[in-house]
Amino acid sequence: MSITWPGRTLPLLLTCVLLVSACGGSSSSGTGSVRVSLTDTPVDNADQVVVSVSGMAFKPEGSAPEVVEIFAPRSIDLLQYQNGDTAILLQDTPMNAGRYQWLRLIIDAQPNVRDSYIVIDGQECELNVPSGAETGLKLIHPIDVPAAGSLALTVDFDLRKSIHAPPGQLSGACTTGYVLRPVLRLVNDANVGAIAGTVSFDAGSVPLNCKPNVYLYEGAVIPDDMEESTATSPDVDPLVVVGVNIPDGSTSGTYRAAFIPAGNYTAAFSCDEDTDADEPLVFVPPEGVPVSVQNNLISTVDFAVPVPAP
């Protein structure tokens, strides 16, 4: 069972300097600089999600991976970085110009060691990352470092889709810890925008047990839940799900989906809790709202939630 959370995007503060030897195998000559930041999606029922990052590597096209020579290992609470905030992993680090095939984060998650962990209802549980130390969290995406130029990248960490209680273990229990199977996006900061807006409730109050989230889908689609897709049961999954911040006593709230690649999307709001199962969610509006995202701009989409039918 997945842990549910309300938003998405987080930054992380890690001090990294100097990439080991100029990365060979690049297709261009010269040197550029690279900045890498981290952002995340918030969560509803977790107090902390701490990951211990101990290294970073890049894979030049045509040669072996190169690791960051000087890297300050750090434990980061991902929930501190949401709604467009970012933490810097690499700050203007010199790299050979050319194409790189992927970058990798090395995560420490040893059994019975307090490195990576999750806190739910005040209880601290181990966070297991399969192959985190051996293969790391690999983001396979072409990375083009310009000669005599700079490149800014952001790793978008989707906790909503990434953290799971082992089969048979109730959410919130710590029998064998939780499993982190990261769902990550790597975006070029020069090619992204954002979507933001308000959600108001016509009934004059927020419905009891409402889990307020805005779902964002690529292209023109009918909004659907996050059921696991199969060949016999295809599914339309959202690109991101962001939580709506509703102050206590208020009848409206705000949301922001950041680091969204430029393009056309469908946005919709729902109060229903989304789980791994196939389930009908009530969306407002049912067909969603078309929205276009442009580079370095914020698109506005507001939702008015009607009074529930008796």
Domain boundary among 156, 182, 208: 182
Q: Tell me the two tokens of residue 296.
A: 């370095």
The pLDDT value recorded for residue 228 is 58
Tens digits of per-residue pLDDT, 7-65? 333 333 332 333 333 344 444 568 899 888 888 876 667 888 888 888 889 999 999 99
219 & 119 share domain: no
23 & 167 share domain: yes
**Mean pLDDT throughout 172-196?**
86
Residue type for 44, please?
D
147 & 125 share domain: yes
Domain boundary among 159, 182, 205: 182
165 & 196 share domain: no
213 & 148 share domain: no
pLDDT at 133 exceeding the cut of 70:
no
Is residue 239 assigned to a domain? yes
More confident residue, 153 or 171: 153
Strand order in the sheet with 213-218: 240-243, 213-218, 263-270, 283-293
**Whole-model pTM?**
0.78
**Residue 152 in contact with residue 37, Cβ under 8 Å?**
yes
Tens digits of per-residue pLDDT, 104-125? 988 888 888 888 898 988 889 8
Is residue 68 assigned to a domain? yes
Q: 228: which DSSP letter?
A: P
157 & 238 share domain: no
Is residue 6 assigned to a domain? no
The pLDDT value recorded for residue 286 is 95
87 & 227 share domain: no
The three-state secondary structure class of 189 is helix
More confident residue, 151 or 157: 151
The pLDDT value recorded for residue 232 is 55
Q: Tell me the two tokens of residue 295.
A: 């580079």
Residue 206 burial (10 A CB sphere; 0-12, 13-18, 19+): buried
Q: Which residues does residue 144 pair with via DSSP β-bridges, in sequence order?
A: 99
pLDDT at 153 exceeding the cut of 90:
yes
The pLDDT value recorded for residue 287 is 96
Tens digits of per-residue pLDDT, 227-257? 655 555 567 889 999 999 999 889 999 999 9
139 & 23 share domain: yes
Report the CATH number at residue 224: 2.60.40
User: Quick one: which H or E segment has residue 146?
Assistant: none
More confident residue, 25 or 126: 126
The pLDDT value recorded for residue 108 is 85
Is residue 137 assigned to a domain? yes
**Residue 36 in contact with residue 76, Cβ under 8 Å?**
no
Q: Where are the alpha helices (DSSP H) in 70-180?
A: 159-162
Dihedral sign for Cα atoms in the order 217, 221, 223, 226: negative
Which whole-number Å values give the CA distances from 116 to 31, 39, 80, 132, 183, in the listed order? 35, 17, 15, 11, 17
Q: Tell me the two tokens of residue 228.
A: 């696991």
Domain boundary among 121, 153, 182: 182
More confident residue, 230 or 283: 283
pLDDT over 90, % of the chain: 36
Q: How confident is the model at residue 150 (pLDDT cuts 50, 70, 90)?
A: very high
**Residue 156 in contact with residue 8, Cβ under 8 Å?**
yes
Tens digits of per-residue pLDDT, 72-81? 788 888 888 8
Tens digits of per-residue pLDDT, 188-211? 999 999 999 999 999 888 998 899
Is residue 86 assigned to a domain? yes
60 & 175 share domain: yes
- Full residue range of the structural domain in which residue 103 is found: 16-182
Is residue 3 assigned to a domain? no
- Total structural domains within the chain: 2
140 & 255 share domain: no
172 & 230 share domain: no
Residue 113 to residue 84: CA distance in whole angstroms? 31
Is residue 10 assigned to a domain? no
Is residue 7 assigned to a domain? no
132 & 199 share domain: no
The pLDDT value recorded for residue 14 is 31
